[in-house]
Structure 1
């Protein structure tokens, strides 16, 4: 199973989700079965490390982000990944436009993992500054995602 998290610039939400999910996959002993990556729909931060707020929050939780650098989504990603998870509605819509009919079933929105939360989007901490709220959502959502994948759900 190959999972790709997608946000706008790939420096806040999606790299945080990538790092948290990688840690959970490793702890579950599933690194040989599940690979995780992240990308952005925009190109502003290509090659940059995660935002310092993301770094600070991940460090506080003991989660590594050393290998994560921002990259832009590529057309090949639609073929390469089994699940492409958008961090908000706008990115989901952008992904659906880019994907074409062939790959639409691979795309979902992150907040769909958290059925008890009415909000549609993971808030962008680049603008809100609230990296703790984003971490809490990502922590809970990646737990649900790992359970789905482990149970064989797509």
Structure 2
């Protein structure tokens, strides 16, 4: 069985994208669908390569039962366009960076993550790095909504099949 390969992308890969990786991973495990997926995250910049997620992101995620402490930041590489089926950008800056570097045959793979939560009325997951704890909570709320929407779309379109049929 071919796995659906999903990559979440933000700037430094220590706040938003590891949070999305952790939340989506938890969601697919809860629904007994993890075997359908290969999930990762990366940053468009190499500021934090090898670093653990921001401790505020870890704390906020942990309070919701999401463990991201084992994740380590990595930089997005050109091979990711080839390797991943879904490349989900956290904001417009990262979407633009990915789009400008992307070979034409892979452009369809890049999307805004929040397009899977249209009821939020934005495409931008705000960077909580320079803010307080509330910013990390807000990011979690947004990421949880988009994760549900993304998984539901994959189920509705038949991209993956639920084990409960």
Q: Same fold (TM over 0.5)?
A: yes
Unaligned segments of structure 1, at least 5 residues: none
Matched, 1:142 2:147: yes
1:111–1:141 Cα contact (<8 Å) kept: yes
Instruction: For 2:105 and 2:76, locate their aligned partners in 1 and report how far apart those are by CA, in whole Å.
Output: 17
One of 126, 129, 138 as aligned partner of 2:129 = 126
Residue 13 of structure 1 is matched in structure 2 by 16
Q: Which moved more, 1:121-130 or 1:138-147?
A: 121-130
Unaligned segments of structure 2, at least 5 residues: 160-165
Q: CA deviation at 1:153?
A: 6.2
Instruction: For 1:132 and 1:123, locate their aligned partners in 2 and report how far apart those are by CA, in whole Å.
Output: 11
2:120–2:142 Cα contact (<8 Å) kept: no
1:22–1:35 Cα contact (<8 Å) kept: no
Distance 1:75 1:117, change over 3 A: same
Q: Alpha carbon RMSD of aligned pairs, Å? A: 1.2
Q: Deviations over 1:57-109 (max 9, x none)?
A: 11101111133100000111111110000000010011011112111000000
What does 1:60-99 align with in structure 2 at a 5 Å threshold? 60-99=63-102
Q: CA deviation at 1:53?
A: 1.1
Q: How many residues align?
A: 154
Which has more radius of gyration? 2
Instruction: For 1:38 and 1:153, locate their aligned partners in 2 and report how far apart those are by CA, in whole Å.
Output: 24
TM-score norm. by structure 2 comes to 0.89
TM-score norm. by structure 1 comes to 0.95
